[in-house]
Amino acid sequence: MEDKTEPRHEFAHRSDLDVGRTLFGGFSWRGTAELVRQVGSALTLLLIAYLVGPVAFGIVGMTDVFLQFLNVFIQIGFDAAVIQRERLDTKVLSSLFWINIGMGLVLAGICAVAAPQLSRFYHEPQLTSVATFLSASFVLQSLSVVQRGLLNRQMAFRTLAIIDILATILSSVLAVVVAWIDGSYWSLVVLQLTKLSVLAVGLWVASPWRPGFVIDIRNSLDSLRFSGNILIFNTLNFFATRLDVILIGRILGAEELGFYLLANRLVFTPLGQILNVLEGILLPILSAVQERIERVREIYLTAILSVFKSVAPLLVATILIAPIAIQLRIAEEWAPIVPIFIVWSIGGMRRIMTSRLGVLYLVMKRPDLQWKFQLISTPVVATAILMGVRWGALGVAITFNVAQLLTSLISMYLALGLVGMGIGSYLWQYRYAVVALSFQYFLGYFLAKFALGWLMSPYITGVLVVFSSFTAYVLLMLTLDSQFVRVLTAGHTMLRRMWQDRPVSI
């Protein structure tokens, strides 16, 4: 009997204008969801930090780094394989689902069994119970990987946005209530498990597909091989990016790790969610036009530049007000995170430019290049972290970001080469933004240091510095960069170009 199959993409026969509308609509819906998630996540972290203190963040952070390693085997790219695969049949989908479920159960068992050893490694007895409870996260994630992949494949961005918003709101409210009542690390455990539970339920309700009781390894080999390359990269990337947390927790203790993690999360929780929006939209869109390299290059470059020109000035603003805002909004006990926060904000600009190069590896069907690059990057970053730990959490943040900057040049060379673009041409696109950002910073610094120093209220000073410097950035960009209007018009130019050179089908 012939298997049921579906076309490669829901919009396989639409015009480029329809693809553009899908891209623009996707950004609108996912952007709305991420705005809610950013604000919700930032407020939740600040409230919980105020209620529970840095040690609680450090304890959960010690557990998280072990969970994130095991999580590599759940996030092995099955959802990307569902999006990118030419055609799907029900046997392949069911096979991927049950393989993922099996892995989730195995990893949950490993986490629970390893919890006492984790506690002994960090010399923190609380880790045993924390790791045991958080082991349930693997099962919750494995339940919805295929469903999320299918909804992304179908461009159901509105549905995904609603689910993400509900998960963020419900988990944040419950976590803050627990922190207010209990005042311990359990609020952070509740935050993670509640969010994953709501996501799993929401994705199952939204996706009409249900798995059959079948595992067909032979027909799933293509997807497994594709995911295998992603698994290798994610494993190497874990050690390159999480060794800092392991060493700080082991050598410097829970409090220092708490400072390090909160500074990191205040920057990269909202920024990471913005970049996840970008990847979630770009992967299915670029997969649909992957045979047309010039179109892949144009869409990718326009999207990355739009995000950078919109978000980078916000990072500069946080650098300007961090010495005031961090201490006032949380507590004096959190004051040591200010310089660490500034370092991560600077690193965030580099991350916008480079962290989603992986989309090009996947779209151009070269995920093997990604993990081969990581073979070079991992020892470089690990060495930098080992060098920085002697200077505490701040030293690790500095050396980590410097190493990431240097190795990202290699990744840019490999990924951009797949779409016929050189590093020099790519970096040249940022010239006006760099000039405007530099002017924004120095103007804001001058205002904060000299012109507005007499103001009694630091809140008023912060607002005026941010408003004045941000306005100067926008005006300078409008003067220097004739393309900056693309950011303000939210993709209008991209839609017009897609209409002008649209083919009959893609």
Lowest mean pLDDT across 149-163, 173-187, 322-336, 428-442: 322-336
Q: What is the pLDDT of residues 241-298, one digit of tens each?
A: 778 888 888 888 888 888 888 888 888 877 877 777 777 777 777 877 777 888 888 8
Q: How far is CA 136 from the centre of its chain?
A: 22
Between 459 and 385, where is the model more confident? 385
Q: Which position has the higher pLDDT, 230 or 304?
A: 304
Of 30, 9, 6, 464, give the one whose Cα is nearest residue 279.
30
Give residue 491's region: left, alpha or beta (phi > 0; psi -120 to 50): left
How many C-beta atoms surround the C-beta of residue 112 within 10 A? 17
* Residues contacting residue 49 through CB under 8 Å, at least 6 positions apart: 57, 262, 330, 334
Q: What percent of the chain has pLDDT over 90?
A: 22
Q: Is pLDDT of 28 > 80?
A: no
Chain-centroid distance, C-alpha 229: 20
Mean pLDDT of the chain: 78
SS (H, E, C) 240-305: HHHHHHHHHHHHHCHHHHHHHHHHHHHHHHHHHHHHHHHHHHHHHHHHHCCCCHHHHHHHHHHHHH
Residue 133 has pLDDT above 90, yes or no: yes
Domain parsing of the chain, residue ranges = 5-500
Which band of pLDDT confidence, cut at 50, 70 and 90, is reported for residue 324?
low
Q: Which pLDDT score is estimated for 505?
A: 32
pLDDT(136) > 50: yes
* Run of H or E including 134: helix 127-134
Q: Mind listing the pLDDT tens digit for each residue in 369-389?
A: 877 888 888 889 889 998 999
Is the model's pLDDT at 217 over the cut of 90?
A: no
Does residue 439 contact residue 476 with C-beta atoms inside 8 Å?
A: yes
320 φ/ψ sector (left φ>0, alpha ψ -120 to 50, else beta): alpha
Q: What is the pLDDT of residue 460?
A: 77
Confidence class for position 14, pLDDT limits 50, 70, 90: very low
Largest CA distance in the chain: 81
Identify the band that residue 81 occupies on the pLDDT scale cut at 50, 70 and 90. Answer: low
Q: For residue 483, what pLDDT band results from cuts at 50, 70 and 90?
A: confident
What the block records as the tokens of 364 is 């151009």
CA–CA distance, 235 with 249 (Å, rounded to integer): 20
Round to whole Å and give the CA distance between 28 and 21. Answer: 10
Contact (Cβ atoms closer than 8 angstroms) between residue 11 and residue 19: yes
Identify the DSSP state of 89: E
Q: Quote the DSSP letter at residue 118.
A: H
pLDDT of residue 12: 41
- C-alpha–C-alpha distance, residues 481 and 475, integer Å: 10
Which residues lie below 8 Å from residue 99, measured CB to CB, with a gap of 6+?
A: 78, 215, 220, 224
pLDDT for the residue 443 = 93
Cα–Cα distances in angstroms (integers) from residue 64 to residues 135, 189, 451, in the given order: 10, 10, 44
What is the structure's pLDDT at 99? Answer: 82
Q: What is the mean pLDDT of residues 5-18?
A: 42
For the chain, the helix, strand and coil percentages under 3-state DSSP, each to the nearest 5: 80, 0, 15
pLDDT for residue 72: 72
DSSP string, 387-453: HHGGGHHHHHHHHHHHHHHHHHHHHHHHHHHTTT--HHHHHHTTHHHHHHHHHHHHHHHHIIIIIST
CA dist 373 → 105, 357, 413 (Å): 31, 12, 10
Cα 72 from Cα 148, distance rounded (Å): 17
Q: Which residue has the tokens 């950004």?
A: 27
CA dist., res. 371 & res. 377, Å (int): 9
Confidence of residue 435 (pLDDT cuts 50, 70, 90): very high
pTM over 0.85: no
Residue 6: enclosing H or E segment and its boundaries? strand 5-6
Which tokens in the block code for residue 429?
């696109």
Pick the residue with more confidence: 7 or 101? 101
